[in-house]
Amino acid sequence: MSADVEMIQVYIMGRPYKVPQGLTIMKAMEHAGYRLIRGVGCRGGFCGACATVYRRPGDYKLYADLACQATAEDGMYIAQIPSVPADRAPWVLTELDRNTNPILALYPEVARCVACNTCTRACPQELEVMDYIQAALRGDISQVAELSFDCVQCGLCAVRCPAEIVHYHVGQLARRVHGAYRAPQAAHLADRVREVEDGSFEQALDTLQKMSKDELVEAYKKRDVER
Ligand code: FES
């Protein structure tokens, strides 16, 4: 490590470490020697695998963020939550009763919402989580789907909720129902499904399956992509 890199003190899972300033929490953990097997995925803020809580020195508040996005600060106390054991109701999309509000049937705890907004404050994506829970209560599934669209399923909302609502699972259910039954059907998708069913891609698939790994890598590099 070059001598002019400023080091900061962080506490990871209760242990003190010196790490270079400016790293994300995830990189600070790796610099400290943690080999992340759980609690890491895309490293880009999309997969929601790296939910983390932290506290700043002299501040009683517990903050939450994604470890791959938040910057480590001097004196930070950090703990990761690589998996949130929240209850996900079992459901099969095609078997849901579409004449009732499936959210209330599967997640009746949304009625316990006390509108404290803790879920919204916990969300690293800055989603209006409480607003979509209120929309769920009103049965406005499309609004829930829209407001929760950028959810990465990290579970931090559920971890902080005093009413023990599992917001992120509620949002996922609404997005599935909205996508299957309420959103306008995309014509290009219907065309592509028809092409798949007609076997238009069989020959191309067959060619790919016969390629060696090197040939596949080359073909991947030369693929047609939208720039
Ligand atoms: S590693 Fe995927 S969101 Fe952080």
Residue 127 domain-assigned (yes or no) = yes
pTM of the model: 0.82
Q: Cβ < 6 Å from ligand 1: which residues?
A: 40-43, 45-50, 66, 68, 152
- Identify whether residues 109 and 171 lie together within a single domain: yes
Instruction: Taking residues 206-216, report their average pLDDT.
Output: 95
| Residue 2 clears pLDDT 60, i.e. is over it | no
- Residue 158 is assigned to a structural domain of this protein: yes
Residues 65 and 121 in one domain: no
In a domain, 1, yes or no: no
Instruction: Answer whether residue 88 is part of any domain.
Output: no
Same-domain status, 176 and 193: no
Q: Which atom of ligand 1 is nearest to the CA of 50?
A: 4
Q: Would you state the structure tokens that stand for residue 192, as one six-digit string?
A: 């592509």
Q: What is the mean pLDDT of the chain?
A: 94
The total domain count for the chain is: 3
pLDDT, position 3: 64
Are 44 and 101 in a shared domain? no
Express each pLDDT in 38-56 by its tens digit. Answer: 899 999 999 999 999 999 9
Q: Which residues of 136-171 are buried (b: 16+ CB within 10 A; e: fewer)?
A: beeebbebbbebbeebbebbbbbbbbeeebbbbbbb
Instruction: Let me know: does 19 contact 33? Beta carbons within 8 Å.
Output: no
The radius of gyration of the chain from alpha carbons, rounded to an integer in Å, stands at 22
CA nearest ligand 1 atom 3, residue: 45
Expressed in angstroms and rounded, the spacing between residue 13 Cα and the centre of ligand 1 is 19
Do 116 and 195 lie in one domain? The reply is: no
- Ligand 1 pocket test: pick from 37, 43, 123 the residue with the most ligand atoms within 8 Å of its Cβ: 43
Nearest protein Cα to ligand 1, atom 1: 43
Q: What are phi and psi of 110, to 5 degrees?
A: -60, -25
Based on the fold, state whether residues 113 and 167 are members of the same structural domain: yes
Looking at the CA of residue 47, tell me the nearest atom of ligand 1.
Answer: 2
- Residue 208 domain flag: yes
Tokens 């004196």 label which residue? 75
Residue 59 is assigned to a structural domain of this protein: yes
User: For ligand 1, what atom is nearest to the CA of residue 69?
Assistant: 4
100 and 76 in a common domain: no
- Please write the tens of the pLDDT for every residue from 116-126: 999 999 999 99
Helices (H) and strands (E) in the chain, counts: 10, 5
For residue 167, being part of any structural domain is answered with yes
Q: Is the pLDDT of residue 227 over 90?
A: no
166 in the same domain as 208: no
Report, as an integer, the average pLDDT of 153-175.
97
> What CATH number does residue 69 fall under?
3.10.20.30
Residue 227 lies in a domain: no
Among the three residues 80, 101, 132, which one is the final residue of a domain in this structure?
80
Given pLDDT bands bounded at 50, 70 and 90, which one contains residue 185?
A: confident
**What is the rounded distance in angstroms from the CA atom of residue 143 to the CA atom of residue 159?**
23
Condensed to tens digits (0 to 9), the pLDDT of residues 83-141 reads 899 999 999 999 998 778 899 999 999 999 999 999 999 999 999 999 999 999 999 99
Q: Which two tokens stand for residue 50?
A: 């790296």
Interatomic CA distance for residues 100 and 122, integer angstroms: 30
Least confidently predicted of 181-185, 209-213, 214-218: 181-185
Structural domain boundaries enclosing 202: 187-221
